Structure 1
Amino acid sequence: MPTKAQAFRALHRGRESGDPLVLPGPWDAMSARAFADAGFPALATPSAGVAASLGHEDGATPAKEMFAAVARVARAVDIPVSADVEDGYGLPPKELVARILQTGAVGCNLEDTDGATKVLKDPRRHADWLAEVCAEAGEELFVNARVDTFLRGVSDPAEAALRIRLYVEAGAGCVYPISVPSAQLPLLREATDAPINVFASVASASDPSIAELGRLGATRITFGPGLQRRTQAAVADIARELYEKGPGRAKL
């Protein structure tokens, strides 16, 4: 019987165009169970969604709290979980991999923006660091290397393609050009045979569908904090409704 890590890696292989792997992003144990019960084969925690659930701004969650939150998610379900651990919190590769594996996660997102300065890291130095992480991870952890060029205002797809090639050569199992315009996705698909993760919006009906993103080159779809924010908005609606129905409210 394959391990969770092997099963998660296999989910990225042999996918038909138009049928990408869809990974909802749980922010706590309850949401993880809901997504697992719905039938999804794996989950991917979003750092921004987890941060919001813990009362932090995006990017401000202490590493200890993030790892503990991921552990609660992984413990709540029987399916593979991938963890967004931002830029690795400055941890050495050996310690970073050990701490991720201790949570029960079998995959991780690692971005190429410096968490302290919010500036893109040098791609070659970052690739060298990723190579150390991947060497430590072996087959136990599936690394998704986030490419932040579009997010940081670098619109030239050649820069994203360069980083993609470097990170795949370093051992990343998947690459994530976050905020890539859908029209440029086929250009990045030509740059690599590796799986490509693409962000999908849950708020705009005008954005490409999941199937269309798959046809453009996406292997895997995630939603960032979109699902947590949609849930938060629903809770806010319920709260307003309850408040308005409270004793004496109709007289105000």
Structure 2
Amino acid sequence: MTSQADKAHAFRQLHERPGMFLFPNPWDVGSARMLAGLGFEALATTSSGFAASMGVADYHVTREMKLAHIRTLTPATPLPLAADLENGFGHAPEDCAETIRLGAEAGLVGGSIEDYTTDPQNPLYEAAEAADRIRAAAEAARALPHDFVLTARAENFLRGNPDLGDTIARLQAYQEAGADVLYAPALQTMDQIRSVVSSVDRPVNVLMGPFSGFVSMAKLESAGVKRVSMGSAFSNTAYGALILAAKELMQEGTLDFLTVAPKGSDIAALMKAGSA
């Protein structure tokens, strides 16, 4: 079994080598092993996808639920695993630091902390407070016995404040606070993505691509993006296929959905190829 230290080293190397890498988001052991079997080099949890697998909405998962999820995923494949650690499961900088420590104990070699408060009336932490939270998380990460890639997320474009200037200012503050990777989900255009990349000196993560119209991975790489994550895209696609198949069965009484379904033996072989 690949050690946590070796996974941490491999994950850091992905960020330091030339070019971009793809960073998909499994939501259970089966999807993690299938993605590993397909040849991806690192994995990240999805908060929304995991929440759906537990039958609840996003941001209704507790820290203990998330940590238990991480403990099942980390030994499932030989790949480095990072996690969407939401807002650190608490408002205080100390909460963020403790979440990083607990996540690392559960097997993580990376994780993200975001500046979303979870309060729809006041969705973003003040910039200085948000930077303090990242600073505490970075200090906790540096104190670990192995490497840990900390990602800082500026949630402006997801939380009703699509202000590119404020987004960049926040990312720059998080960079100074010690973040290793910077991430602003749901940027709308390639110009916005290029502006973020050119305004910071850390690797930049992009969620799928510009939300005004997705582009090829090659175009994102040419813009200087270091890694591309999928968020809940894969889990939503899988659940969407389930919903469509179930509706066909109930409404039409047919099984045409089986024509695109993989064989159970093929799924099993792929999971075996991606297992630790």
Q: Report the TM-score, using the length of structure 1 for normalisation.
A: 0.89
In the alignment, the residues of structure 1 paired with residue 9 and residue 128 of structure 2 have an alpha-carbon distance, to the nearest angstrom, of 28
Query: Is 1:128 aligned with 2:161?
Result: no
CA contact (8 A) 2:89 2:96 kept: no
CA contact (8 A) 2:205 2:228 kept: yes
In the alignment, which residue of structure 2 is the partner of 1:227?
234
Amino acid paired to 1:229: N
In the alignment, which residue of structure 2 is the partner of 1:109?
112
The 5 Å alignment of 1:64-143 reads: 64-90=64-90, 92-117=95-120, 119-138=123-142, 140-143=147-150
Structure 2's unaligned 5+ residue stretches are 256-276
In the alignment, which residue of structure 2 is the partner of 1:250?
none
In the alignment, the residues of structure 2 paired with residue 179 and residue 93 of structure 1 have an alpha-carbon distance, to the nearest angstrom, of 23
Q: Name which of 186, 196, 199 aligns with 1:188.
A: 196
Amino acid paired to 1:13: E
Query: Is 1:151 aligned with 2:158?
Result: yes
In the alignment, the residues of structure 2 paired with residue 144 and residue 88 of structure 1 have an alpha-carbon distance, to the nearest angstrom, of 12
Residues 192-234 of structure 1 deviation map (CA, whole Å, 9 limit, x = unaligned): 1210000116xx9951111112222311100110100001111
State the SS of the aligned residue for 2:153: strand
Q: Report the TM-score, using the length of structure 2 for normalisation.
A: 0.81
In the alignment, which residue of structure 1 is the partner of 2:170?
163
In the alignment, which residue of structure 2 is the partner of 1:249?
none
Change beyond 3 A, Cα 1:7–1:239: same
CA contact (8 A) 1:83 1:107 kept: yes
CA contact (8 A) 2:96 2:113 kept: no
In the alignment, which residue of structure 2 is the partner of 1:30?
30
State the SS of the aligned residue for 2:111: strand
The 5 Å alignment of 1:13-52 reads: 13-16=16-19, 20-52=20-52
CA contact (8 A) 1:86 1:115 kept: no
CA contact (8 A) 1:176 1:198 kept: yes
In the alignment, the residues of structure 2 paired with residue 6 and residue 217 of structure 1 have an alpha-carbon distance, to the nearest angstrom, of 22
In the alignment, which residue of structure 1 is the partner of 2:8?
5
Amino acid paired to 2:30: M
In the alignment, the residues of structure 2 paired with residue 47 and residue 190 of structure 1 have an alpha-carbon distance, to the nearest angstrom, of 28
CA contact (8 A) 2:154 2:167 kept: yes
Residues 40-86 of structure 1 deviation map (CA, whole Å, 9 limit, x = unaligned): 11001110111011111011112111111122111211110001010
Q: Name which of 155, 158, 174 aligns with 2:181.
A: 174
CA contact (8 A) 2:85 2:99 kept: no
Q: How far is 1:157 from its partner?
A: 1.6
CA contact (8 A) 2:98 2:140 kept: no
* Paired residue total: 241
Identity of matched residues, %: 31
Q: Name which of 176, 182, 199 aligns with 2:207.
A: 199
CA RMSD of aligned residues (A): 2.1
State the SS of the aligned residue for 1:150: helix
In the alignment, which residue of structure 2 is the partner of 1:61?
61
Change beyond 3 A, Cα 1:102–1:161: same
In the alignment, the residues of structure 2 paired with residue 141 and residue 116 of structure 1 have an alpha-carbon distance, to the nearest angstrom, of 29
In the alignment, the residues of structure 2 paired with residue 128 and residue 22 of structure 1 have an alpha-carbon distance, to the nearest angstrom, of 29
Residues 161-181 of structure 1 deviation map (CA, whole Å, 9 limit, x = unaligned): 111111011111101111112
